[in-house]
Each structure stands twice: as structure tokens, then as C-alpha cells.
Amino acid sequence: MSSNAIIVGAGIGGIATALRLKKAGYEVTVLEANTYPGGKLHVLNLDGYRFDLGPSLFTMPHLVTELFELFGLESNAYFEYKEKATICNYFWEDGIRFSAKSDAQTFVNQASNTFNEPAQNIHNYINRNKKKFDLTASIFLEKSLHKARTFLSKDTITAILQLQKLDVNRSLHSINQNSFKSEKLIQLFNRYATYNGSSPYKTPGIMSMIPHLEMHYGTFFPKGGMHSISKSLYALAEAEGVQFKFNEKVEAIRIKDKKAIGVRSEKQLYDADIVVSNMDIFPTYKHLLKRQKHPEKVLEQERSSSALIFYWGLATQSPELDLHNILFTDSYEKEFQAIFKDKTVYEDPTIYINITSKEQPQDAPKGHENWFVMINTPSNYGQDWNQLKSQARKQIIAKINRVLKMDIAPLITTEFVLDPQGIEKNTSSYRGALYGAASNDKFAAFLRHPNFSNRIKNLYFCGGSVHPGGGIPLCLLSAKIVSDLVPKPKKNA
């Protein structure tokens, strides 16, 4: 008989794990409570507008295309994307604007001119970021941090010998503050803490390697929008024989003699040789592993930030905006204090605007644009989200009007709103946190739940709430780590 694998959850990490285990020789079944695949990578079609509901930034595309290549397929026949010359457009209240280019030399030259920052300072910063990535990628991103063999490798020894270069004992803000004279350039690089839902004033300085990923690998737009990533991988998995069962909620992971033997859904029992949970690690333990000992220290970690997102159809064209746009707050420090300490929405929030109709005009009616307007918020701790949404909507509109010299309220033709409660309900993300645990600690990488269980044999974990972290690239890497940990399937009898 063939070896069977059950995956709980059809998020991007679950689909990627299914593909890798199928390639390894397992018969794979994916159970998903929702009626659709993709998890946060979903889509909203409303009144002639198309919106990507979840992640909006696409980088490291090779992590997607290599899944097609595993099966000997040319990825561009199934999944297409194009590189962006502009990473993001930045706006400040005092009228300063900066269009960040993906080419490193162009970025350095233009940033030096815009922010009156010596070009050598920016060069040095970018080079240090590259060194951090080169020293740590094979350790923190590509392997389990919870296996001894990872720490006995040559790469790990090399990294330890150069530990001072990783800046783990200083905050990202401290590193940026010591690197630049310009407060605006400091703020621009501080924002990369939000890529893992953390505060630049708390997250370790090693996180400065994140902008290196954008410049080294580039930023891209997938044809069909971000939803096409999960859509194409789901189609590939189905074509390769992975079985998907939607609208089927898993109620428990079945354990016998300290070994995972399958799952119980609301419809039936499933036997399996391997069980992988792509569900957020908190509800995995609280709902699916109720009788097992819980790793309380891991589960009690501070949650990452969440988001409040307004999906607006606008009857306008905005030539000064691009695919990715940021309108900065005047006080980043107060904004992150509001999010992580006060657990509320800051009165002058930083606003992110994503407009896919800039790349795909068919995403909006002619002469219109589809605006994905997001602010960072605390996770859901029982706040009055109706009141916070109403307040934030007014503040966001007022800020856009001031900074972009617009009057957008009369231009909004349609609206959909997603808050932390909705994110939690739709994706089972504990408290609606976008990235699981926050990285507001130098030991955060080691405190994330491993991709396997120390106590239960044949039980594994993938997705954004476990190692190596949240976001599309890291979810895809979690699938790769799981596939390396899972034993080879038994041969057919």
C-alpha cells in the first residue's frame, strides 16, 4: 500500500507541502474548512473591481516556479509574472516624495539626492544587509532551527564566528539610526519591520536584511494578481493527483501511542502515515490537539500586528501612484507604541495603498482604480472594532486628501472592509495576527514553533505561524523544510 499524508489547511504553505510530499511519493489529501484554496491569498470581485484580499507584495518568485519545475514543467506555461522597476512610492506630509527603484545603484543615487544622505552611507548599509543574508539564509530560512545537524554545519559555524555582524543585540531602529543622518531614510528602512508584523524599535537588527531581498531578488507582479499564485499552485496540485476536500473542517488530529495516525473531520475519520498542520499553531493545539501537552511558552508569545483594510473602488486615475505606495506617519515611534503597547489604532497611521489596476487595467472599470488601503493595527484583543474602523476611515481619508491633494470620499463607488476579527474568522489566525508571533525579541526566531513535533511522531507543521515565519516566501520555505524532515514513504507492496 502507498503511504498517505493528510494536510490540514489549503493555505499557500499547505498547497506547497502537498506538492512536495506528492513528488516524494506520498498520496496526499488536503482538508480545508473554507470553500476555496489559498488561505489569506484569496480574491474579492465586487462591482466590476478585482481585489487581492491578502498579501500584496511578491518577491523571490523562484520559490513558486521551482514547484512547477519539480514536476518537470515550464512554470511560465502556468504562472506568469513581470518584474517591477519601482519597489514603492513614498510620501511624507511635508511634501517630500521618493520613488524607490529596485536597481541598487539607482536607489543609492536617488536616495542620496532626495534625503541629502552621503551615498557611501547607503552603499555601506546595503552591503552589510547582503552579508547578513549570505551568513544566515541557509540557517534561519532553509533548515529547521530545532535539529542539531543545523548547528553542526559549516554555515552555522561561519555565522557564529561573525556574530557581531548580524546585529542581533540591537534593534532595527538602532541600526538604521546609526547608519543614516536622514530621519526619513531611517523611517523608510524602519518600515521593513512590518514585513513580519513587528516593531522596528524592538525587532533585532538582523531584520535589516529584508530590504536586501527586494533589491537582490526584485519585486514582481503576477499576471492575474496575487491570487494567481495560490490558484496556479492549486491547479498544479490537482493535476498531479493531490486530493482536496473543501468545506470540511478538521476537528482533531488523531494520536495513538504518541504517534499521529490521521485526523477526524466533521464528516469522517481519515488514516494517515504523516499529518501536517498548515493551520495557525495556536488553534492547532487548542482545537486539534486538546489532549496533548501544549508548548505554552511558544503559544503565549506576543502576536504580530494585524491590519485594517479598506477595499475601495475609486472613480479616478492617480498618476502619482504606482502598484505599491506608502504615506508615512509623522511619528513612527508613537504609531508602534499604539499598536504593540496600547493595543489601539494610532490617530495618524501610516497608510499603504496597493493598486493592481496600474498593472492590470481590467481589475477596475475603465477610468477607475481598485485601491487596497491598509494600516497596521494590533491583533484582536476584544477592542471595539466598529468604533476603531469608523475612526480610522475618517483619519485615512483626511490623510490621503492632505498628502495627495485629493478629495477621495466622493470618488468611492464601492467598499469592503476587513478587520482583525474578520481575518481571524476567515483564516483561523489567532487574534487575526498576520504573521503568527511577533519578532520583537532577539530570540524570536528560536521561539517560533518548529516544523515538527518533539513529542508526537509523524506530526509536522507548515505555514506562517511556525518556522521560518510569515509571508509568502517564508511559507513556501516552511513547506520545503517539512519535506526535508518527513521520512521517505514506504514503497508499494
Range 182-202 average pLDDT:
96
Contacts of 364 (CB under 8 A, 6+ apart): 48, 49, 50, 313, 314, 357, 370
Each residue's pLDDT tens digit, 360-392: 999 999 999 999 999 999 999 999 999 999 999
**pLDDT at position 89 over 70:** yes
Least confident of 220-229, 415-424, 432-441: 432-441
Distance CA 383, CA 379 (A): 9
Does domain 4-37+58-69+228-301+437-485 fall into CATH 3.30.70.2660?
no
Please tell me what DSSP assigns to residue 167: -
Nearest to 278 by CA among 77, 52, 5, 3: 5
CB atoms within 10 A of CB 223: 13
State what percent of residues in the chain have pLDDT above 70. Answer: 92
Architecture of domain 108-217: Orthogonal Bundle (1.10)
Kindly report, as residue ranges, where domains of CATH 1.10.405 are found in the chain: 108-217
Residue type, 282: F
Least confident of 154-168, 192-206, 325-339, 440-454: 154-168
Length of the chain equals: 493
User: Which pairing describes strands 274-277 and 459-461: parallel, antiparallel, or unpaired?
Assistant: parallel
In three-state secondary structure terms, 352 is strand
**pLDDT at position 78 over 50:** yes
State the Rg of the chain over Cα.
22
User: Which pairing describes strands 324-327 and 351-354: parallel, antiparallel, or unpaired?
Assistant: antiparallel
pLDDT of residue 136: 72
pLDDT of residue 137: 67
The residues that bridge with 29 in the sheet, in sequence order, are 6, 243
Distance CA 340, CA 330 (A): 18
Instruction: Output the nine-digit C-alpha cell for 187.
Output: 523611517
Least confident of 136-150, 317-331, 474-488: 136-150
**pLDDT at position 478 over 80:** yes
First-to-final CA distance of the chain: 5
pLDDT of residue 151: 40
Which residue matches cell numbers 508548548? 295
Kindly report, as residue ranges, where domains of CATH 3.50.50.60 are found in the chain: 4-37+58-69+228-301+437-485
What are the distances in angstroms from CA 424 to CA 39, 66, 412, 431? 11, 31, 27, 6
What are the distances in angstroms from CA 127 to CA 171, 375, 485? 18, 30, 33
Residues 115/97, Cβ–Cβ less than 8 Å: no
Residues 201/173, Cβ–Cβ less than 8 Å: yes
Under the banding of pLDDT at 50, 70 and 90, the label for residue 426 is very high
Positions of E strands within 363-492: 369-377, 412-418, 459-461
| Residue 473, CA atoms < 13 Å, CB-side half-sphere | 19
Range 197-215 average pLDDT:
90
**pLDDT at position 144 over 60:** no
